[in-house]
A and B are shown apart, each in its own frame.
Chain A
Amino acid sequence: MDGIRFTLNGTEVTYGGNATDRLLDVLRDSYHCTSVKCGCKEGECGACAALIDGVLYNSCCVALGAVSGASVVTMEGFRETERFTALEKAFGEFSAVQCGFCIPGMTLAAEALLSKNPHPTEEEIREGLSGNLCRCTGYNAIVNAVANAAREGDGLW
């Protein structure tokens, strides 16, 4: 049988395993995308977030068969972009990264938000990040960083 073809961080790949396998496990184990973190395996924490055709998903809740033909982007790919640089700088200025485990997913959630809504209100930012649990920061620094990235990175989104 044919494998499942999709684009991972811009590169065409073919996965020969099961269509029922979790995208999270496949990204980590087969493609070494370890920025994708496993926090719960039930869609409740957002640490495994990935962009599929530009849309934010929890990769623990996606079966491989569902990404056939799609473009999957993880932090391994997103970190090469200008938008990442803007977010990275803003998160750094607000010291929004503590333990860091939620952060790749959080940053992708911010990217998904800003690409739909380049100038979100604070409430919209909190909504946009509401599926990504952070136990360290209390969220203020992260929310401020995203607001700042939107301001400073004007035109990128």
Chain B
Amino acid sequence: MVNGYAAASLREALEIRASRDVVPYAGGTDLMIENRKGVRYLFLNKVPELKAVAVDDRYVRIGAAVTFTEALACPDVPRLMKEALSRIAAPAIRNAGTFGGNLGNGSAKADTALIEVAADGKVCLASAEGGRVVDVDKFYLGRKKLDLADNELITEILLPKKGLEQYSYEKVGGREALAISRVSFAGVFAAENGKITNIAAAFGAVADTILRYKDIEAMLLGKTVQEAKGLKADYLNAYAQRMTLTRGRVSAEYRKRVCMNLLNGFLTKFGI
């Protein structure tokens, strides 16, 4: 086809990616709005290896070309992710939008990427030479900058199979549907034997990248809920100090207040 390559297998896709100057095309919902001139697309929407959801002993593995609608219908996809998926845009966009595209667009507003960051998700990258696995929060290098080489494709998103049962998810958009996140928040909580083992908090759409501060989270790890309550003020203060937010469709001050309220609400939800 003129100015396009349709790959029938991952191998073929990687070969084209390595040998030609192409833009990977998954769902099209971001790319077609940009409407870049003079580019060639590598169509990934029919690559079978990218269309599957699989489960191994540790991870739910979601293919990069799996659409949001397909994931919503899949029993293996964690509830937290589904909650975020169900609030993305509207059916026609969810039918087109994919996990790989959402991540590959590099936006801090990407609703699935927020969940992946909060869930300690990983992204699998492949090139004709081989593959590598990167933590999703390390995959974002800066505003619209990703740790993705010119010859690589996103192939899978890995979400932990366990540990995502207790969470908070909040999305602030301008309306009830067709809403781009103005602030989004995902928190994951876990405790074992009375001690907090996970208290991940991730903030989307408020800065150049999705924000997560593991060093602040560490303040509460290993503590009992009661102990955590005592540390709550310091913990919240640490976030308030650290978070430098940008303005977008709403002001930075608003974003900050909402983030702090939602973080506080997350702690409260789990008794802290």
Bind each other: yes
Does B3 have its Cβ within 8 Å of any Cβ on chain A? yes
Does B149 have its Cβ within 8 Å of any Cβ on chain A? no
Establish whether residues A131 and B92, one from each chain, have CB atoms under 8 Å apart when the complex forms.
yes
Task: Say yes or no: A130-B91 contact (C-beta < 8 A), given A3-B1, A58-B96, A62-B28.
Answer: yes
Does A10 have its Cβ within 8 Å of any Cβ on chain B? no
Distance (Å) between the CB of B94 and the closest chain A CB?
Answer: 9
| A63, B41: Cα distance in complex, Å | 9
Does A101 have its Cβ within 8 Å of any Cβ on chain B? no
Does A18 have its Cβ within 8 Å of any Cβ on chain B? yes
Establish whether residues B3 and A61, one from each chain, have CB atoms under 8 Å apart when the complex forms.
no
Establish whether residues A128 and B2, one from each chain, have CB atoms under 8 Å apart when the complex forms.
no
Interface size of A by CB at 8 A reads: 38
Distance (Å) between the CB of A132 and the closest chain B CB?
Answer: 8
Establish whether residues A57 and B92, one from each chain, have CB atoms under 8 Å apart when the complex forms.
yes
Interface size of B by CB at 8 A reads: 31
| A144, B102: Cα distance in complex, Å | 34
Chain A's closest residue to B1 (CB) is: A19
Establish whether residues A130 and B32, one from each chain, have CB atoms under 8 Å apart when the complex forms.
no
Establish whether residues A65 and B92, one from each chain, have CB atoms under 8 Å apart when the complex forms.
no
Distance (Å) between the CB of B213 and the closest chain A CB?
Answer: 33
Establish whether residues A63 and B178, one from each chain, have CB atoms under 8 Å apart when the complex forms.
no
Known: A66-B28, A130-B178, A131-B92. 4 other contacts (CB 8 A): A18-B3, A19-B1, A49-B92, A68-B1
Contacts of B95 in A (CB 8 A): 55-57
Does B177 have its Cβ within 8 Å of any Cβ on chain A? yes
Contacts of B92 in A (CB 8 A): 43, 46, 49, 56-58, 109, 131
Interface residues of B in 20-62 (CB under 8 A from A): 25, 27-29, 31-33, 35, 39-41, 43, 45-46
Does B93 have its Cβ within 8 Å of any Cβ on chain A? yes
Contacts of B32 in A (CB 8 A): 22, 43, 60-63
Interface residues of A in 51-78 (CB under 8 A from B): 55-58, 60-66, 68-69
Does A42 have its Cβ within 8 Å of any Cβ on chain B? yes
Establish whether residues B2 and A44, one from each chain, have CB atoms under 8 Å apart when the complex forms.
no
Distance (Å) between the CB of B34 and the closest chain A CB?
Answer: 10
Contacts of A112 in B (CB 8 A): 91
Does A20 have its Cβ within 8 Å of any Cβ on chain B? yes
Task: Say yes or no: A17-B2 contact (C-beta < 8 A), given A61-B32, A63-B28, A130-B176.
Answer: yes
Establish whether residues B2 and A43, one from each chain, have CB atoms under 8 Å apart when the complex forms.
no
Does B240 have its Cβ within 8 Å of any Cβ on chain A? no
